[in-house]
Amino acid sequence: MIGRPLLKLLPVFLALSLDAGADEPEQLTAKIAWGGYFRSGVRTEIGLTLISAEGGRAAVRLVSGDTAPIDAALAVDPGTPRFISIPVTPSAEQPIRISGFLPNRRTFEAEIAASYPISGRAVAVAAEGVETNSLLESLAGTAAVISAHASDLPRMAQSYQVVDMILLGDREFAELDPEQFEALSDYLRDCGRLVFLGAEETWENLEAEAGCGGAFAIRAEHPGQGAELAGELLDRAQPSLPGIQDLRDLSAAQPPMALRTAAVLLFCYFTALSVAGLTSPRPWPLFLLPLAFSALAAALLTGKPPEMRLTGWTETSVGDDNARFVALLTVSGTGRWQGRLPAPIKFWLPKAETYPDIQLDIDRPETHGLALKTELFSYDELLFRGTIRRFHPPLTLDLDQDAVAVANPGGTTQPAGLLAWDGKLFALPSLRPGERWSAENQAPVAPDSPEAYKLRPYLNRDRMAALLIPYASRLWRGNEVPGDAEWLLIKARL
Amino acid sequence: MNSVRFGLLMALLCCGPVLIWTAGQLMSDSTAASAKTDETLRTAVEALWLVQACAAALMATMPVENDPIEHAQGMLAFWLVPLPLLTLVWAGGAADAWMLARGLAAALTFSSVLLAINRGLGRISHSSPWPWHGVLSLVLVYFVWRFDKVWLGWITH
């Protein structure tokens, strides 16, 4: 994709403008979310506006930080601005490289540097009337304050990782486009912190999106109260989902089998070679055997799709319409293979030690995919995060002062699980449709399994119960990725 | 023992330790990042070529009364034996086919030169008190070792 830069680089503030000249209608404008504020190594996004004299398919490639390139394909109408958002991971050292081609196959390339790094906690203010001084006073110097316009707010939920809290005004909220609203909803479902300064009726819509029972989304009557509440909300600890090591512990996946295949192949080869060397009076078998085994190895170890396993963890609370998930996908190479794995239905970009190429088809979001390239012995781990709207847990958890009960309201039998309640761990049996189970008079069990270990934080919490059951998240359509160990945690509080 | 069997024995002696070391590394890093696996496989290939170069030099000092065709066949067997191992390295993504082909070409050239020295000067050595072919072979091995970066650079880039 490297070609002659047809478009000139004209950096304007943090927006990048590329213009071929007065006679050339081609133009590319780039703008980093949050007005250019970023955290090194943390996902944010870049908004690109592309104008082309000709209509047709265009392509953009972004390279940022140490991550793999992200390729995006999109359709452009002649002379009509086309806006797209692409995830980036800026670093203070490396600029973001943008390249691609227009429908007329003319190539372009440019660089944009993210200029305002954030370290420590940060609060974004997209609300009129909030005085920075009073807000800083409320935050007691524990966080930086960045001002943002409605247009600076991201269109991808993962870009909210840049800030720890947002103060959003009524007017700014009204200016959000559907993509921005969707990203904000995802952020709220993921228990993101929000102080909303606006009317009650608008707030009701937003509050419905909030995860964690709405514990991290509050409404303020006026800017002064918003600043006060911000300090209190920022100190409220958000529940964390299991990390990559936790999911590895939960995974039942066996180590890659490729080594065994290779070992068997080589053992057979060396045995055959030794026998031929000792018994054959002619040298030809000694020449043919290496060639034959090489051909066999090449045939066996090319074109085979990798072995993939998914370990998932989904969390929700009783009374919460939303759920959050984190999933670890392991990809074990069984030979040289290159292919494309469809991305899960809705996801944040995977975060892991190794990254495959990401291919986004802007016009067909359902076909977003991960371009995977595997080799013998290769082992990749991809960590996905996301939220689920209108989540219906398969079991209900009823909690009162003295007892806790679990019921199966659905039409299918639910598998056995574990319940943490009143400092004890109980083994929940498999429940048939309509069946109800109570922890009363049940003998507790020892927390000696990896999944029971994950319930330990809930054992000694007052007025709280937590239920853990096997659960198939169906993040992928069809059966492209087999589930290995997937769990659902349902929390209930008195 | 004829040259072909001797070549096979030498090749097995070269492959054995490299194979055991590689398997040990891969077993201990079964869930490590691909970059480390790549490094292991690359090191295995380079180590294999290095011990083969030494073994080839040793083979070149063999007595020259053997049939020259049999001698060449011995060398060929010696170089062909690790081919499946190199195929595994290729499947592991640590080396592309061109790199392995260049490595094999360099190794065969080296062997051919040693063989030529052995055949040409070995006869003289028999009639003189000095083992010229052995000395020249060792000089060649010294230069191969001394300028390893040059030929390894050519192979790997």
> What was the pLDDT predicted at A176?
93
Instruction: Report CA Rg, chain B.
Output: 17
A170 touches chain B (CB under 8 A): no
Residues 306-335 of A with CB under 8 A from B: 333, 335
Q: What is the ipTM of this complex?
A: 0.78
> How many angstroms away from the CA of B57 is the closest CA of chain A?
21
How long a stretch of residues is chain A?
494
Determine, for residues B80 and A290 on separate chains, whether the beta-carbon distance falls below 8 Å.
yes
What per-residue confidence (pLDDT) applies to A424? 86
Structural domains of chain A ordered from first start: 8-117 (2.60.40.10), 121-234 (3.40.50.880), 396-470 (2.60.40)
Mean pLDDT across A156-172: 90
Average pLDDT (A100-113) is: 84
Which residues from A are below 8 Å from B81, CB to CB? 273, 286, 290
Residue B23 has pLDDT above 70, yes or no: yes
Which residues in chain B have Cβ-Cβ distances shorter than 8 Å to A379?
30-34, 37
Residue ranges of E strands in A119-234:
121-126, 143-147, 165-169, 194-197, 217-220
pLDDT at A163: 94
Amino acid A418: pLDDT: 92
Give the per-residue pLDDT at A490.
92
Q: What does the buried/exposed string (b/e) look like for A289-316 if buried means 16 or more CB atoms within 10 Å of the residue's CB?
A: bbeebbeebbebbeebebbbbbbbbbbb
Q: Which strand (E) or helix (H) includes residue A182?
A: helix A178-189
Q: How confident is the model at residue A123 (pLDDT cuts 50, 70, 90)?
A: very high
Is some CB atom of chain B closer than 8 A to the CB atom of A352?
no
Q: Residues B24-49, buried b or exposed e (16+ Cβ, 10 A)?
A: ebbeeeeebbbeebbebbbebbbebb
Rounded to an integer, what is the distance from CA A258 to the centroid of its chain? 28
In this predicted structure, the answer to whether residue B33 has a pLDDT above a threshold of 60 is no
Q: Which of A262, A277, A353 sits opposite B33 (nearest CB)?
A: A353
Segment A95-124 mean pLDDT? 86
What residues in A contact B73, CB-CB < 8 Å?
A: 283, 287
The rounded distance, in Å, linking the Cα atoms of A416 and A485 is: 14
B68 vs A: CB within 8 A: no
CA distance B129 to chain A (A): 34
Query: What is the full DSSP assignment across B2-51?
Result: -HHHHHHHHHHHHHHHHHHHHHHHHHHTTTS-HHHHHHHHHHHHHHHHHH
Chain B residue numbers touching A255 (CB-CB < 8 A): 30-31
Report the predicted TM-score, pTM, of the whole model to 2 decimal places: 0.75
Sign of CA dihedral A137, A138, A139, A145: negative
- Does the beta-carbon distance from A377 to B27 stay under 8 Å? no
Q: Cα separation of A15 and A10, whole Å?
A: 9
Higher pLDDT, A260 or A189: A189
Residues written for chain B: 157
Confidence band (pLDDT; 50, 70, 90) for A291?
A: very high
Q: Please state, in angstroms and as integers, the Cα–Cα distance from residue A490 to each residue in A283, A393, A422, B10, B56, following that order.
A: 70, 8, 16, 64, 68
Is A266 within 8 Å of B84 when comparing Cβ atoms?
A: yes
pLDDT over 60 at B30, yes or no:
no
CB distance A117 to A138 below 8 Å: no
Backbone φ/ψ region at A2: left (φ over 0), alpha (ψ -120 to 50), beta: beta
User: C-alpha distances in angstroms, B38 versus A59, A217, B24, B107?
Assistant: 32, 48, 14, 22
Cβ contacts (< 8 Å) between A353 and chain B: which residues? 33
Measure Cα distances from A430 to A385, A460, B72 in Å: 28, 25, 72
Mean pLDDT of all residues in A440-459: 81
Kindly state the tokens that stand for A389: 């709207």
What angle (nearest 5°) sits at the alpha carbon of residue A183, between those of residues A391 and A200?
Answer: 80
* Lowest model confidence (mean pLDDT) among A299-303, A368-372, B8-12, B107-111: A368-372
Residue A256 has pLDDT above 60, yes or no: no
pLDDT score recorded for residue A196: 93
Closest CA to A47 of A35, A57, A32, A64: A32
pLDDT higher than 90, residue A31: no
Mean pLDDT confidence for A404-419: 91
* CB contacts, 8 Å: A266 with chain B: 19, 84-85, 88
CA–CA separation, A320 vs A490, rounded Å?
10
Structure tokens at A160: 């909210």
Q: Chain A residue with minimal CA distance to B74?
A: A283
Task: Please report which confidence band the pLDDT of residue B35 belongs to, taking 50, 70 and 90 as the band edges.
Answer: low
Closest CA to A46 of A58, A36, A59: A36
Least CB-CB distance to A294: which of B8, B41, B84? B84
Please name the residues in contact with A231: beta carbons below 8 A apart, sequence gap of 6 or more. Answer: A138, A139, A140
Q: Residue ranges per domain, chain B?
A: 3-156
Residue A190 and residue A194: Cα distance in Å, rounded? Answer: 11
Which has the higher per-residue pLDDT, A172 or A305?
A172
Q: Would the CB atoms of B34 and A274 count as touching at under 8 Å?
A: no
Angle separating helix axes B83-91 and B97-127, nearest 10 degrees: 160
Find the DSSP H helices in B29-157.
34-60, 68-80, 83-91, 97-127, 132-146, 148-156
Tell whether the model's pLDDT for residue A321 goes beyond 70. Answer: yes
The pLDDT value recorded for residue B60 is 66
HSE of A8 in the Cβ direction (CA atoms, 13 Å)? Answer: 8
Whether B93 and A336 lie within 8 Å, measured CB to CB: yes
- Reference A363, options A135, A92, A82, A98; nearest CA is A82
DSSP-based three-state secondary structure for A208:
helix
Token pair of A451 as six digits: 């999944």
CB contact under 8 A, B32 and A379: yes
Average pLDDT over residues A28-40: 87
Please tell me the distance in Å from B154's CA to the nearest CA on chain A.
24
Contact A297 B91 (CB under 8 A): yes
Secondary structure letter of residue A462 according to DSSP: T
3-class secondary-structure state, position A405 = strand
Instruction: Please indicate whether, in this complex, the C-beta atoms of A336 and B8 are within 8 angstroms of each other.
Output: no
pLDDT for residue A475:
67
| Rounded Cα–Cα distance for residues B51 and A462 (Å) | 67
Percent of chain B with pLDDT over 70: 75
Per-residue confidence (pLDDT) for residue A330, from 0 to 100: 82
Classified as helix, coil or strand, A39 is: coil
State the average pLDDT over residues A271-294. 87
The residue among A20, A11, A96, A94 whose CA lies nearest residue A51 is A20
Res. A484: pLDDT tops 70: no
Check CB contact of B19 with chain A, cutoff 8 Å: yes
d(CA A178, CA A330): 34
Q: Which residues of A touch B91 (CB under 8 A)?
A: 297-298, 301-302, 335-336, 375-376
pLDDT tens per residue across span B38-97: 788 888 888 887 787 777 777 766 665 567 787 778 878 888 888 888 888 888 887 888
The span from the CA of B88 to the CA of A290, in Å, is 12
Chain A nearest-CA distance from B150, in A, is 28
Q: What distance in Å separates the CA atoms of residue A377 and residue A307, rounded to the nearest whole number? A: 11
Percent of chain A with pLDDT over 90: 16
% of chain A at pLDDT higher than 70: 85
Closest Cβ–Cβ partner in A256, A286, A302 for B8: A286
